[in-house]
Chain A
Amino acid sequence: MRTEYTERLKNLKIKLLKMGSLVQQVIEESLQALMQQDMEKADTIHLMDDRIDALELEIEVECMNLIALQQPMAKDLRVIGTILKAITDLERMGDHAVNIARQTKLIGQEPFIKPLVDLPRMARLSEEMVAKCLDAFMKEDVNLAREVAHDDEAVDEIYEMIYTELMEMMIHDRGVMNQAIHLLFIGRYLERIADHATNIGERVIYMVTGERVEIN
């Protein structure tokens, strides 16, 4: 029944996955650019973000078309509603990757004021959260969606640590202030990325159960 409609819904989900994997990639590359202080790479991040933005628009148009032309109900409606919300979260994550690249360029080739250990950890966790919430979406797995929220706490903790550490460094040595602020911003962007992944996790729970939850 409703073969074409079912097919279009399926393709929509696949497009969301594609957007998600681009987002994972852009986060990873923005972190690589930072770690390797690779300015050329930092310059390419916004190009990837453009692709993410284009995909967001494409998915949104398709969602609106399905709503207008196919009158989705019940679960189908929740799936489309979830996708519409999720693309906004994914798009924001892409923007944050661009912000990270921008901070990276501001740091430039200046030697790091400390070895960067926690930021890559945060980035890895955030990336995994993106993968996990999309996996939860595809598998309609509530437990997996809840795990994302749990991971968010870990990201928040690391951010707290980075914050305190950089604050202390700035108090003791005003000379590090410039770079410390850039690094703080990067930490903040990664923390926001994790929050957006948590939002998607919450939407997935609604999509599957029909119940709205606020996890964090």
Chain B
Amino acid sequence: MSKISVKDLNLHYGSFHALKNINLDICEREVTALIGPSGCGKSTFIRSLNRMNDLIDGVKIDGEMFLEDQDIYQPDVDVVSLRRRVGMVFQSPNPFRKSIYENVAYGPRRYGIKSRNQLDEIVERSLREAALWEEVKDRLKSSALGLSGGQQQRLCIARALAMEPEVLLMDEPTSALDPIATSRIEELIDQLKKEYTIVIVTHSMQQAARISDKTVFFLMGEVIEADDTQVIFTSPRDQRTEDYVTGRFG
């Protein structure tokens, strides 16, 4: 079932046409990987899924983007609650300079949850979901900055999960991590897709192949091909996809 449905989306940065007539469906409880060379529009696209591009000057967006039955680009949409439904994890782990506990409790607190019990519950659930609980349960009050890179990234995932999002956007979430931390995150993504719809930007085609159900190939602001991951990596239809996934692009 389609969770996000994009229709004729165009995005301009000033005079630069960054996304061209994007039409795409993102399925619920699946991992969708966005691949393509640098500057192809995949990061712009993922940021448009929770209106992060609104923060950039000179951006003009038209077209429709439905999160279930709501067009998220309608003027009456509350962007803050949209970002609550569509959480995001960035390329390099960016925990706050606070304790592990406070990093996770930050969002819910801002949403007005004050009960200590409730916050404890949210923190534990989120850390468990992010496969970090066992490693940090005895030092929740210690600084998040003392964690390893991989742990910090899982903490950021826990922080996003604390808001109980429906969709989780991940922009190259493992590019700053070593192979072991990477494989933990990949395993986590596989777990999380049972509950969440996940969209991930990755420069590693092996990663896209390993963890995603659907793969979307972007090139120069266009979606060239979107299909089952297996199809993209064994029998892509478009020659440009073929050239990219076989490493002959350019």
Contact = CB atoms under 8 A, between A and B. Distances in A.
Interface stretch (B75-83, B85-93, B113-121, B242-250): B242-250
A74 B242 CA distance: 6
Interface string B208-250: 0100000000000000000000001111100001100111111
Interface in A52-111: 71-78
B247 A1 contact: yes
A5 interface: yes
A210 interface: yes
B205 interface: yes
Given A73-B233, A74-B242, A77-B234, A2 B248 contact: yes
Contacts of B232: 74
Contacts of B247: 1-2, 5, 73
The B contact surface, by secondary structure, is helix
A209 B237 CA distance: 9
A1 B248 contact: yes
Contacts of A73: 205, 209, 233-234, 245-247
Q: Give the size category of A's interface with B.
A: 10 to 19
A1 B249 contact: yes
A74 B234 contact: yes
Nearest to A70: B247
B246 A78 contact: no
Nearest to A210: B235
B74 interface: no
A71 B233 CA distance: 11
Contacts of A74: 232-236, 241-242, 245-246
Nearest to B232: A74
Contacts of A209: 235
A73 B206 CA distance: 10
B186 to A, nearest CB: 16
Given A73-B246, A74-B232, 6 more contacts: A1-B247, A1-B248, A1-B250, A71-B205, A78-B235, A210-B235
Interface of A: 1-2, 5-6, 71-78, 209-211
12 contacts: A1-B247, A1-B248, A2-B247, A5-B247, A73-B209, A74-B232, A74-B235, A74-B242, A74-B245, A76-B246, A210-B234, A210-B235
